[in-house]
Structure 1
Amino acid sequence: MINYSCINQLKTLKDIIRYTTTIFNESDIFFGHGSDNAYDEAVYLILHALNLPDDNLDMFLDANITKNEIRKILYLINKRVTLRIPISYLTEESLLQGYKFYIDKNVIVPRSPISELIQNCLYPWVKNPESITSILDLCTGSGCLAILSALAFQESMLTATDISVEALKIAKKNINYYNLQNRITTINSNLFDDIPIHQYDIIICNPPYVNTQSLNKLPKEYLHEPMIALDGGNDGMDIIKKILKNVKNFLKKEGILVLEIGNEYNNFVKNFQNINPTWVTTINTEKSIMLLNQEQIP
């Protein structure tokens, strides 16, 4: 619990940042939902609570903070430390590739490294971004990958699907925020079950893939996320098997599937010895994202 008696000692923005960073460092919270250290998380939480821009921190460091503002910040710190709630659920927003997305506990916190590939327009596998006219985002969650895809491939129409009705409400909110409602259609569907047959240039999917053993060892922060978006079954391959069984019917002959499997490389190889995908390395991942064309899919 946070000791609110410190309120009289905290005067400036610099004071509250130092104090919050110390509290976060001394706690057993896990960083992995947007930041990887106590200072960055403290600054983000505080600036959000004070409704201050994040690009002019130096300008406000010596500014005095009111007691009510300090109480608001201490309340958020307390929830972060004692309940282990990811910071993005406390602020109801998440940043991915510099873009802001509204979220709540009905969707996982956006963090897919597929976003890095989308920012680069899937180069070199896509030679001409303007040639991409149709994209499917399976398991869209907050809609972040669909939105980033729409912004990257500006000639494309997109379909974003999810099994969760509540997740699609959030996706629609983000789609509307970026004024993409005329280009992104949302469909409530269990994978391909309720999607009209159509051949797409690109299919993107960040499915549930965490295996049962790993799921039981996740830090408490992840337990605030919807299990339906994380749980991939005993070996993490339950959903991936269903995707690979049906995806060929929805992919153009020259189209590509971009599929994230997290840390389940060994389990993938065990289950799909007849598939030899292209493994894509990102800044922080290796053998976590695969690319498949139609010929590579059995």
Structure 2
Amino acid sequence: MYCEAKSQLSTVRDLLRFAVSRFNEVGLFFGHGSTSAYDEAAYLILHTLHLPLDRLEPFLDAHLTTPELEQVVNVIRRRATERIPAAYLAKEAWLGDFRFYVDERVIVPRSFIAELLREQLSPWVEEPDDIHSALDLCTGSGCLAVLLAHAFEHAMIDAADISQDALQVARKNVADYGLEHKINLIQSDLFAGLQERRYDLIVSNPPYVSAESMATLPEEYRHEPRNALAGGEDGLDVIREIIHSAASHLTTGGMLIVEAGHNQEALERAFPRTPFTWLETSAGDEFVFLLKRHELPSV
């Protein structure tokens, strides 16, 4: 099939149709940036051909050279047969206008916290200039650390992760944005390597997938590091540790913001006396919580 495609297809329009057909035929899962076979096919084709990602129409009837055709068909084949997320094939992922390098050493960035940082966490942070120190816990690719640095220009940022492999990816992204002077990368098992550091703001997109959900994840997610997804039997193992330890790493008026996936009910059962504030995101108000230091159970 793919060999025939190289000999019988010639234009971007041909390849777009072919890719959409293949992606729908094999039932790919779209959860890493795109929401449909068409969007994913268009993105992969434009990226592979080094064309503007927001301008498909002018190029639809352009004829490809033989090397270009081979490259595009190969990307389509790998996405359809190996079910590799498009972000890993392209070595990039986008959060709004921010581009990040990614590979299989980190999960593909897709945090709702990114949306909140675009608004400088308003109204919960009244004066962005008052944020002088922030921590991105479980930083992975470093994407939230980079967004923190842009949102709070007076803040020094620590970005911590247990994985040295992830920190290598984060280091590249920090360097790509010229933020080496603002973002300090630290290998740490949650707070263990942070000693007595305190922050005005801690954000985290930790592992939170339950064992039951891990067993049924689409194949695309199995290309991502397991330890960045699996949150234990009920999905709350890491979140529990964060909640129990965060107070000792926050300043007096500091706050903790954590993405918790679909675990709102389980989390509120586990901490019945903790007054979680659930923040509004594009997907609703049940995925990201905020706690001020005095609201944390260990204070």
TM > 0.5 = yes
Kept after mapping to 2: 8 A contact 1:199/1:251: yes
**How far is the alpha carbon of 1:199 from its aligned partner?**
1.9
Superposed structure 1 runs of 4+ greater than 3 Å apart: none
1:212 counterpart residue number: 211
Deviations 1:185-229 (A, max 9, x none): 000000000113122111000000111001101101001100100
CA distance in structure 2 between the aligned counterparts of 1:236 and 1:67, rounded to whole angstroms = 48
Deviations 1:53-104 (A, max 9, x none): 1133222222111122111111111111111111111111101112110011
Equivalent residues in 2 for 1:1-298, closer than 5 Å: 2-298=1-297
CA distance in structure 2 between the aligned counterparts of 1:205 and 1:193, rounded to whole angstroms = 15
Structure 2 gaps, min length 5: none
What amino acid is the match of 2:213?
S
Kept after mapping to 2: 8 A contact 1:89/1:103: yes
CA distance in structure 1 between the aligned counterparts of 2:54 and 2:31, rounded to whole angstroms = 22
Structure 1 gaps, min length 5: none
Kept after mapping to 2: 8 A contact 1:276/1:296: yes
Deviations 1:32-61 (A, max 9, x none): 001000111001101111111113322222
**How far is the alpha carbon of 1:127 from its aligned partner?**
1.0
CA distance in structure 1 between the aligned counterparts of 2:198 and 2:188, rounded to whole angstroms = 17
**How far is the alpha carbon of 1:146 from its aligned partner?**
0.5
Query: Identity, % of aligned pairs?
Result: 45
Mean CA deviation greater in 46-55 or 104-113? 46-55
Mean CA deviation greater in 107-116 or 79-88? 79-88
Mean CA deviation greater in 54-63 or 79-88? 54-63
2:170 counterpart SS class: helix
CA distance in structure 1 between the aligned counterparts of 2:240 and 2:95, rounded to whole angstroms = 28
What amino acid is the match of 1:185?
N
Kept after mapping to 1: 8 A contact 2:188/2:194: yes
CA distance in structure 2 between the aligned counterparts of 1:56 and 1:244, rounded to whole angstroms = 45
**What root-mean-square deviation, in Å, do the aligned CA atoms of Structure 1 and Structure 2 show?**
1.1
CA distance in structure 2 between the aligned counterparts of 1:168 and 1:126, rounded to whole angstroms = 28
Kept after mapping to 2: 8 A contact 1:113/1:285: no
Mean CA deviation greater in 156-165 or 63-72? 63-72
CA distance in structure 1 between the aligned counterparts of 2:141 and 2:114, rounded to whole angstroms = 13
The TM-score with structure 1 as length reference comes to 0.97
**How far is the alpha carbon of 1:6 from its aligned partner?**
2.4
The TM-score with structure 2 as length reference comes to 0.97
Deviations 1:207-258 (A, max 9, x none): 0011100110110100110010001000111111111111001111111100
